[in-house]
Chain A
């Protein structure tokens, strides 16, 4: 087997171990909590409670519960939700995850399309008014909390806007038609776009004064080609290294955005399942989110070698 295949295999094995440890830690964390999922304000009769707990296997010894949970995981059985009676966790997730991923993918696209060119042009006109302006916008984008941007956008487009033709033109919430996507995607994409713009600018500034750039210019290559082919290509490593966490964060959606815009995604379930003590759902969601992060980091590490052949994947570390 080639070195690369072996490397991927090793990383996948590591990922499985990591996820198993995370599952165990989360399981333990939930059982440490005082009170159980079926403690209600009005105390249930003891027999009723015992019956419910028996149904979900909560009356068994802890070790047995744990082994059942882990063997379920191996079989791909995530169990049944405590609060959505009769629905399997896999069912709930497969319904909500695509919505979150759709939202995340669109925001990600927006972030790369806006952020990278903004960073490149800012660096190309280093210290110009455009540079200062772009970086002011970028710094603001990083510092603006999404729970402020979202509601303000909503109130702007529902009744605050001074232009009559725009008023009511964008439906503020819900997730039904593409027009509904615009505000949440902008709200969610703003921060990563700003981060990417700053990162790209820094990386481009590092490589723009290299000898090969001067050579390219001396050969008479057009400025656009110099920037986007010679300079950007050599600035991709730092951009890549923040992409892992960025992608994972966006694909899992942001639960703040989902709550503000009433989007039926997975983030809303995370908050609710913790409040509800819906153990199987919490565990599954934690694993899904962690898996996305692990996969995103693995892909980024593999891309390092692709972007810069001098980087051998074996040596690139775990890429935090």
Chain B
């Protein structure tokens, strides 16, 4: 829920902030909010995610060195007071590279979830709302995309998107390429979910009443249906973020994603794997990835149990 609050606080006029305050207070008091805050693992994971986001955003300030500064006197050293996570084969500080890597990994994870949400949400809503043969046709396409294993699709589409884009900066190019490729893979499950939810909700009585008083279709979708399907969608997004981060690191690990000297956790793991005899090079980026995956999973579990008490009871 905290993520939602942040999104809203970006639009800073007095009225929305006031509304945000009311909304946050009502969230705190709501049963879902209370249930979430009672889940310690979920709350701690949420805190960890917020801190990680802050570190990623402030990487140049927080990191002790730059991600490409070399210290030629200290190649491939283990952890020390000077270099907490040690140095790599080119004498770069691993801690700083892990921090810069967090930047790339988090950017990929969050932005992809956002793009997938927009594409999948619109697609699914249209499909579920219109129904009939349009729906069958649209879902047929989703089925086909789903029949290509995601890693294969990711590799194929990633190559195309990296080739075609207006940016010259190599870091930006790789980021945009991966982001778009991941979105092509990610929107499918969101479209399925949103369609299913819309199909369910649109038969409900309050939708019928909205029809009866003459509300337009788009208004019903946005004002009446969207708020009612938000829960499962937010939960699915939370689970997609770590999946995206993992996919990015896979791609970078095999050399089809981000390229050195830029740092993402996958690039760092690849560096470490090449160095073979220095496990600390692979341990620290791997551990960062591991803890982040855990945090998003626990956060997602917390959200799911809070928003869907039926499921929570059986667990």
Question: Which of the candidate stretches B52-60, B167-175, B269-277 sits at the interface with the other chain?
Answer: B269-277
Chain B min CB distance to A53 (Å): 20
- Chain B residues near A292: list those with CB within 8 A: 149
Asked if B160 and A274 make an inter-chain contact with CB atoms under 8 angstroms apart, the answer reads no
Residue of B nearest to A203 (CB): B314
Given A29-B156, A145-B293, A147-B249, 14 other A-B residues pairs in contact with their CB atoms under 8 A:
A22-B147, A22-B148, A33-B160, A34-B164, A139-B298, A145-B249, A145-B289, A148-B269, A151-B279, A155-B277, A248-B149, A270-B155, A286-B148, A290-B152
Residue of B nearest to A259 (CB): B254
- Considering only residues 15-41 of chain A, those with a C-beta below 8 Å from chain B are 18-19, 21-22, 26, 29-30, 32-34
Bound: A9/B26 CA distance, A:
55
- Considering only residues 67-125 of chain A, those with a C-beta below 8 Å from chain B are none
- Chain B residues near A66: list those with CB within 8 A: none
Chain B min CB distance to A248 (Å): 6
Given A256-B254, A320-B146, A143 and B152 contact (CB-CB distance below 8 Å) = no
The contact of B152 among A142, A151, A260, A286, by CB within 8 Å, is A286
Asked if B297 and A18 make an inter-chain contact with CB atoms under 8 angstroms apart, the answer reads no
Asked if B286 and A143 make an inter-chain contact with CB atoms under 8 angstroms apart, the answer reads no
B117 lies within 8 A of chain A by Cβ: no
A289 lies within 8 A of chain B by Cβ: yes
Asked if B279 and A270 make an inter-chain contact with CB atoms under 8 angstroms apart, the answer reads no
- Chain A residues near B113: list those with CB within 8 A: none
B250 lies within 8 A of chain A by Cβ: yes
- Chain B residues near A155: list those with CB within 8 A: 276-277, 279
B8 lies within 8 A of chain A by Cβ: no
Interface residue range, chain B:
35 or more
Asked if B286 and A145 make an inter-chain contact with CB atoms under 8 angstroms apart, the answer reads yes
Q: Is the interface of A mostly helix, strand, loop or mixed?
A: helix
Bound: A276/B242 CA distance, A:
30
> A residues bordering B, Cβ < 8 Å?
18-19, 21-22, 26, 29-30, 32-34, 139-140, 142-145, 147-148, 151-152, 155, 159-160, 202, 205-206, 248-249, 252, 255-256, 259-260, 270-271, 274-275, 282, 285-286, 289-290, 292-294, 297, 318, 320
Given A143-B294, A293-B149, A152 and B273 contact (CB-CB distance below 8 Å) = no
Asked if B290 and A143 make an inter-chain contact with CB atoms under 8 angstroms apart, the answer reads yes
Bound: A156/B189 CA distance, A:
38
Bound: A147/B286 CA distance, A:
8
Asked if B286 and A33 make an inter-chain contact with CB atoms under 8 angstroms apart, the answer reads no
Asked if A256 and B253 make an inter-chain contact with CB atoms under 8 angstroms apart, the answer reads yes
16 A-B pairs with CB atoms under 8 Å apart are A30-B156, A142-B293, A142-B297, A145-B250, A145-B286, A145-B289, A147-B273, A148-B282, A202-B315, A248-B149, A270-B152, A270-B155, A289-B148, A290-B148, A292-B149, A318-B143
B157 lies within 8 A of chain A by Cβ: yes
Counted as pairs of residues, one from A and one from B, with CB atoms less than 8 Å apart, the total is 123
Indicate the member of A145, A260, A292, A297 with the most B CB atoms within 10 Å: A145
> Lowest 7 CB-CB distances: which A-B pairs, in order?
A148-B286, A143-B293, A143-B294, A289-B149, A155-B279, A147-B253, A289-B152
Bound: A256/B250 CA distance, A:
7
Asked if A260 and B159 make an inter-chain contact with CB atoms under 8 angstroms apart, the answer reads no
B263 lies within 8 A of chain A by Cβ: no
Given A202-B315, A289-B149, A33 and B163 contact (CB-CB distance below 8 Å) = yes
Bound: A260/B276 CA distance, A:
10
Asked if A202 and B293 make an inter-chain contact with CB atoms under 8 angstroms apart, the answer reads no
- Chain B residues near A318: list those with CB within 8 A: 143
B144 lies within 8 A of chain A by Cβ: yes
Asked if B293 and A148 make an inter-chain contact with CB atoms under 8 angstroms apart, the answer reads no
- Chain B residues near A160: list those with CB within 8 A: 279
